[in-house]
Amino acid sequence: MKLLITGAAGFIGMHAAFRFLSDRCEVVGLDNINSYYDVSLKHARLKELGISSGAFRYNQMISGVNGFRFIQLDLCDAGNMMALFATEKFDAVVHLAAQAGVRFSITNPRDYIDSNITGFFNLLEAVRAFPVQHFIYASSSSVYGNSHDVPFSVSNNTNTPVSLYAATKKTNELLAYTYSHLYGIPATGLRFFTVYGPWGRPDMAYYSFAENIINGRPIKLYNNGQLKRDFTYIDDITESLSRLLPQYPDGSPPCRLLNIGRSCPEDLGTFVGILERYLGRSAQTEFLPMQPGDVYQTYSDTSDIEKLTGFKPQINLDEGLRRFVEWMLQRSGKL
């Protein structure tokens, strides 16, 4: 199977590329390498896949390890996107590229409209013109807003997003449904729940907290630390993706939404305590009020994806953070 992974220089994208390569898929990775966070981390991820930062040029395909190929391309570049699909004739797409970050969307809204809506539309148009067997795309648990109806089920009402980021992800779900209805595109939207692990994004709480604790800087706990998150380890995500890829939706329209999480919300205090234990030092904490766009809790009902794949995430928060801290200390030369 020839597979396109968008956002391949990103956290989930890099891990997904490795997983599908191990499944003997032919993988093409795409990323625009934007500067939302330090691009050196994106280059380092690509280096793991055999792609040197000095080798790629915009809209030029280059080869890496185990047959992996990479192209630097922006989803908003509709013409070159269409040309890529015409040339490659993909069997499936795993769309992970997006402008991420809830708080960044407050101050930089246009980036989210461009990447998450215009880019998504361009991708759907390419899939319409050059059909694939399965179009899997990343949505987000943020679409549930501040719902008190837990665990969050895909049947819940999601018409009250509390951030622009969440609104763009909800828009993706609506666009995918419409294209599936009109053109028969087999589409699966995945609502990810707080994915973490090695090679993660520096703006994520687990990563920034660990960095600050290591360097003796205070960590900021919003809503006075009274938050809960359904943390999901990256290897459980990629295992779920691998099992889901051949499970094509067959409804009318062939479109579905699935939660992908561990179904085990943890409070922020527990999370910080585990980090402190594995880092071997105490955190300096600064308690702050709730931030605009943030939510109080996330908690996934994953019964649907478990029935489809026969898999339930295995790695608990303690083990996952241990692996992350070990990677981080090795990468920083402090292990």
Taking CA atoms, 91 is separated from 86, 94, 245, 298, in Å, by 12, 10, 11, 33
Instruction: Give the separation between CA 96 and CA 141, rounded to whole angstroms.
Output: 14
Which of the following is catalytic: 112, 137, 144, 165? 165
Instruction: Give the separation between CA 116 and CA 97, rounded to whole angstroms.
Output: 8
Helices 119-129, 164-183: inter-axial angle, 10-degree rounding: 10
Contacts of 331 (CB under 8 A, 6+ apart): none
112's enclosing H/E stretch is helix 109-112
Question: In degrees, to the nearest 5, what angle opens at C-alpha 53 toward C-alphas 74 and 93?
Answer: 40
Question: In degrees, to the nearest 5, what angle opens at C-alpha 299 toward C-alphas 223 and 174?
Answer: 105
243's enclosing H/E stretch is helix 234-244
In the chain the beta strands, taken as DSSP E runs, fall at: 2-6, 26-31, 61-63, 69-72, 92-95, 134-140, 187-192, 195-196, 219-222, 228-229, 232-233, 255-260, 266-267, 285-288
Instruction: Give the separation between CA 67 and CA 56, rounded to whole angstroms.
Output: 16
- Residues 234, 271: contact at Cβ < 8 Å? no
Tokens linked to 174: 């609506």
Instruction: Give the separation between CA 292 and CA 303, rounded to whole angstroms.
Output: 31
Taking CA atoms, 211 is separated from 159, 205, 311, in Å, by 36, 10, 33
Tokens linked to 158: 């999601």
Q: Examine the residue annotation and report whether 165 is marked as an active-site residue of this protein.
A: yes
- Residues 134, 248: contact at Cβ < 8 Å? yes
Residues forming the active site = 165
